[in-house]
Structure formats: C-alpha cells, structure tokens
C-alpha cells in the first residue's frame, strides 16, 4: 500500500502502478531518440529512467520541430532548506533549458506552504523561498531565460489568472484529485488554481499560445491533471509534463524533513553529510562474511540510488559498481566512503555557487 498526494507520500511506492493509476505514459525508446536528435546526448536521469513517465512530450517535440518553441515550468514549495531530492528535477530542468534554449518560469509557492503547514507563517515561507532560490540559481540556469517569483510577490499578475481557473474548478473535483475534507481550510482548496497559472501565463503575456513542459516529481501530477482539464476551456494548451521518481531517504523509505539523517541538505557541511551517509541503511548483508560470499542487493540501497541519480553519471562506472556490489567484492563501508567524497565535492562547489548567487538573485526575480 502507498499513498501519494502533493502533500503526503507514504508506503512502498510502485511506479508502474502509478503510471496506470495516474494515466501517464512511459518514455519509449522512440521518444528518447526524438529527444536525442535535438540534445545530441541523453541526460543520465533520462537514460536511467529516473524520469520515467510523461504526458504529451511527443507533442512538445512535434511543435519544437515546427519551430514553435515551448517554455519550461517548475517550482518549489518553500517549507525548509533544499535537500538533494529537491534538486533532482531542477538539475534535469537546467539541462533541458540548455539543450533546447528555452525559457523557464520557476514558481515559489510561499502561499501554499503557509496554507498547508501549521507551523510556518508567511514571513518564514517568504524567507525560505529566497533561500531555496539560491539553490536554483546555483545550478546554472540562464539569467536571461529564467524567471523566479514568489506567489505573494507576483500576486497582481497571478491572481486574475488563478481566478479564471478557480471558477472552472468545483470542490468535488478538487476533493477527488487531492483528497480534501470538510476540515480542509478553504485556501488549500483554492491553491491548485495558483499552481496552474504559470502553465499558461506566458501565453497570456505574449497574447498567443505557447506550449508548456513541466518537469516535476510525480507527486505533483494531480495539480497538472486538473490544469490539463481546465486550461483548454480557457483557450490555452494542455501543459505537457515529465515525471521523476523520488530520491530515496538515507534511512530507507522516503526522505523526510522530520527524520534526522534521512536527507542531505545543500547547506550541510561535508562532515554532516558524511555522518548521514555513514549511518545510512544499505542493501548489505548482516555480516562481512555473508556479504563477501553472497554479495549485496543494490536495488534497495539508498547509497546506490544516490550514485545512480546524482553522483555517477558515467554508465560504465555504474555498471562496474553494480557488479562489485552484487559480487560481494565491495563492502558497504567502502562504498559509503566513496560516496561521501563525491557528495563533499558537490557540496563545496554548490555552496560556493550559492554564495555567488546572492549577488545575482535580482537578475532572476520578478515581482509586480
Ligand atoms: N507544489 C510544489 C511543491 O510543494 C511547488 C511547485 C509549484 C511545483 N509549481 C510547480 C513543482 C511546478 C513542480 C512543478 O514543491
């Protein structure tokens, strides 16, 4: 059993079931080839199926080939510092921007995190949004092609558009998509209308329809299912999307902000990151002897998934790690040590860029 909504993910997630239940399409070889034709290479997150499903991506490529360029849209709910799981879709989005030379609209839903979180006030979610924006910028987005905004600071533009969506959305549809109850506050029920807006805002501003592609972790899909129903009724295209799996938590299961040590934050020191890695759950055996004889199980190992999703882009190197692990010639301690080094290198580089980003942030932010 698992549960997956934009605000709660629990249980053992079965991604092939999600594809069926959500009505997604898997990414075929043919589609990969179509992408590769334009990008010249395939990003590891695509090759390895970390981005595993989509809606209407063939249409996005059709339009692109006709010279009708799309824009990218993604976002972040600023409820805390950024962890490595959050940056995964952003890393991929940055690659898409670079390869297709397209604009990105990045939404910071400070309103959402205020509405859905009892402990956060609007001043806190606003501050967190600015912290998170530094992580976005540090990943190398093009300052000429990227717009970042907070919902509360871009409200004059967003609000009239959100109203158009809200007017077409009944409580019963919102309830079915998100599982609201009579106890849900009315802001929560309204909120998806705000998340729908960036999917068509560039069309409004340009006065002509522009295709939209949304890279996101699969838990956000209910928002865009709703948006896909409503936007054509307002005269806009349905947004296309591409969905990623989650980076697993280091303690096994999902990553959780409340479970200390389950996630590595971009603001963690290399020592903290190392401690979290060394204490992680693995796919290893109970004893060294047993592991040397029988090998370990990498498919359930968060350490392995950190390599696969973020820290080992070279396929040959990954294949050799897999065989070392399965064959019992590498033990978990050694494997964790090696990962810690890569994570430390990433963190020091990222933190440096994050500091630099403080000087450039105003080139990215839009307000009204
Ligand atoms: N609701 C998302 C979150 O909680 C933030 C978000 C807004 C988003 N717009 C998006 C995520 C578009 C992906 C794509 O993190």
- For ligand 1, is residue 6 a contact (CB within 6 Å)? yes
- For ligand 1, is residue 282 a contact (CB within 6 Å)? no
- In this prediction, residue 5 has a pLDDT band, given cuts at 50, 70 and 90, of confident
**CA distance linking residue 306 with residue 262, whole number of Å:** 12
Q: What is the pLDDT of residue 361?
A: 98
Q: What is the dihedral of CA 333, 336, 337, 343, to 10 degrees?
A: -170
Give me the residue label for tokens 């609209």.
105
3-state secondary structure 75-104: EECCCCCCEHHHHHHHHHHHHHHHHHCCCE
Closest residue by CA, ligand 1 atom 6: 75
- Counting DSSP H helices and E strands in the chain, the numbers are 17, 9
Assigned architecture for domain 270-355: Orthogonal Bundle (1.10)
- For ligand 1, is residue 74 a contact (CB within 6 Å)? yes
Sign of CA dihedral 117, 122, 124, 126: positive
Number of Cβ within 10 Å of residue 358's Cβ equals 12
pLDDT > 80? residue 253: no
**CA distance linking residue 256 with residue 279, whole number of Å:** 15
Q: Is 207 exposed, middle or buried (0-12, 13-18, 19+ CB in 10 A)?
A: exposed
- How far apart are the two ends of the chain, measured CA to CA in Å? 44
- For ligand 1, is residue 195 a contact (CB within 6 Å)? yes
Closest residue by CA, ligand 1 atom 3: 77
CATH of domain 2-246: 3.40.50.620
Closest residue by CA, ligand 1 atom 9: 75
Q: List Cβ neighbours of 138 (8 Å cut-off, separation of 6 or more).
A: 266, 350, 353, 354, 356, 357
Q: What is the pLDDT of residue 255?
A: 77
How does 81-106 read in b/e, with b if 16+ C-beta sit within 10 Å? bbbbbbbbbbbbbbbbbeebebbbbb
300 C-alpha vs ligand 1 centroid, how far in Å?
A: 27
- For ligand 1, is residue 284 a contact (CB within 6 Å)? no
- For ligand 1, is residue 76 a contact (CB within 6 Å)? yes
Q: What is the pLDDT of residues 27-62, one digit of tens each?
A: 999 999 999 999 999 999 999 999 999 999 999 999
- In this prediction, residue 336 has a pLDDT band, given cuts at 50, 70 and 90, of very high
Q: What is the dihedral of CA 120, 125, 127, 132, to 10 degrees?
A: 120
| Best residue among 77, 133, 152 to mutate for probing ligand 1, ranked by most atoms within 8 Å of CB | 77
pTM of the model: 0.97
- The token pair at 277 is 């890695």
**CA distance linking residue 89 with residue 58, whole number of Å:** 20
Closest residue by CA, ligand 1 atom 8: 75
Least Cα distance to 117 among 257, 267, 264, 254 occurs for 257
Provide the greatest CA pair distance for the chain.
Answer: 68
Q: What is the pLDDT of residues 103-155, one digit of tens each?
A: 999 999 999 999 999 999 999 999 999 999 999 999 999 999 999 999 999 99
Angle at 205 between CA 106 and CA 211, to 5 degrees: 65
pLDDT > 90? residue 157: yes
Q: What is the pLDDT of residue 11?
A: 76
Q: What is the pLDDT of residues 95-107, one digit of tens each?
A: 999 999 999 999 9
- Angle at which helices 84-100 and 29-39 cross, to 10°: 60
Atom nearest to 223 CA in ligand 1: 1
Closest residue by CA, ligand 1 atom 14: 74
- For ligand 1, is residue 78 a contact (CB within 6 Å)? no
**CA distance linking residue 356 with residue 360, whole number of Å:** 7
Q: What is the pLDDT of residue 341?
A: 98
Closest residue by CA, ligand 1 atom 12: 74
**CA distance linking residue 43 with residue 23, whole number of Å:** 25
- For ligand 1, is residue 86 a contact (CB within 6 Å)? no
Q: Where are the domains of the chain?
A: 2-246, 270-355
The C-alpha R_g of the chain, in whole angstroms, comes to 21
**CA distance linking residue 155 with residue 6, whole number of Å:** 22
Q: What is the dihedral of CA 172, 176, 182, 186, to 10 degrees?
A: -70
DSSP 247-263: PPPTTSSS--TTSTTS-
**CA distance linking residue 194 with residue 162, whole number of Å:** 5
Rounded mean pLDDT of 254-264? 82
Q: What is the pLDDT of residue 252?
A: 83
30 C-alpha vs ligand 1 centroid, how far in Å?
A: 29
- In this prediction, residue 3 has a pLDDT band, given cuts at 50, 70 and 90, of confident
77 C-alpha vs ligand 1 centroid, how far in Å?
A: 6
Atom nearest to 79 CA in ligand 1: 4
Rounded mean pLDDT of 192-197? 98
Closest residue by CA, ligand 1 atom 4: 77
**CA distance linking residue 271 with residue 344, whole number of Å:** 8
- For ligand 1, is residue 112 a contact (CB within 6 Å)? yes
| Best residue among 223, 227, 239, 257 to mutate for probing ligand 1, ranked by most atoms within 8 Å of CB | 223
- The token pair at 132 is 């998170």
Answer yes or no: are the C-beta atoms of 213 and 60 closer than 8 Å.
yes
- The token pair at 358 is 């403080």
């Amino acid at each position: 059993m698992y549960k997956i909504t934009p605000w709660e993910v629990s249980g053992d997630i079965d991604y092939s079931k999600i594809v069926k239940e959500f009505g997604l399409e898997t990414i075929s070889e043919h589609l990969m080839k179509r992408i590769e034709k334009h990008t010249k290479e395939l990003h590891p997150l695509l090759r390895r199926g970390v981005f595993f499903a989509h809606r209407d991506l063939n249409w996005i490529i059709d339009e692109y080939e006709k010279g009708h360029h799309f824009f990218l849209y993604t976002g972040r709910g600023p409820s805390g510092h950024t962890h490595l799981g959050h940056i995964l879709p952003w890393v991929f989005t940055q690659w898409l921007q670079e390869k297709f030379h397209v604009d990105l609209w990045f939404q910071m839903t400070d309103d959402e995190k205020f509405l859905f979180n009892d402990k956060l006030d609007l001043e806190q979610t606003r501050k967190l949004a600015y912290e998170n924006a530094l992580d976005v910028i540090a990943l190398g987005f093009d300052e000429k092609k990227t717009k970042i905004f907070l919902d509360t600071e871009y409200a004059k533009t967003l609000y009239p558009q959100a109203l158009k969506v809200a007017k077409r959305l009944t409580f019963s549809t919102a309830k079915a998509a998100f599982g609201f109850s009579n106890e849900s506050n009315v802001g929560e029920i309204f909120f998806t209308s705000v998340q729908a807006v960036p999917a068509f805002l560039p069309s409004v501003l340009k006065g002509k329809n522009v295709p939209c592609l949304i890279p996101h972790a699969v838990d956000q899909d209910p928002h865009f299912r709703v948006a896909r129903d409503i936007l054509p009724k307002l005269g806009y295209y349905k947004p296309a999307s591409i969905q990623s799996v989650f980076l697993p938590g280091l303690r096994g299961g999902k990553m959780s902000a409340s479970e200390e040590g389950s996630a590595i934050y971009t603001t963690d020191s290399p020592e903290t990151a190392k401690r979290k890695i060394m204490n992680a759950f693995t796919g290893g055996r109970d004893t060294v002897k047993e592991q040397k004889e029988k090998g370990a199980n990498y498919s359930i190992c968060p350490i392995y998934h950190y390599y696969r999703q973020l820290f080992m882009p070279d396929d040959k190197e990954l294949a050799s790690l897999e065989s070392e692990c399965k064959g019992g010639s590498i033990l978990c301690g050694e494997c964790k040590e090696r990962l810690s080094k890569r994570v430390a290198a990433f963190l020091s580089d990222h933190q440096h860029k994050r500091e630099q980003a403080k000087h450039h942030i105003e080139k990215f932010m839009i307000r009204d």
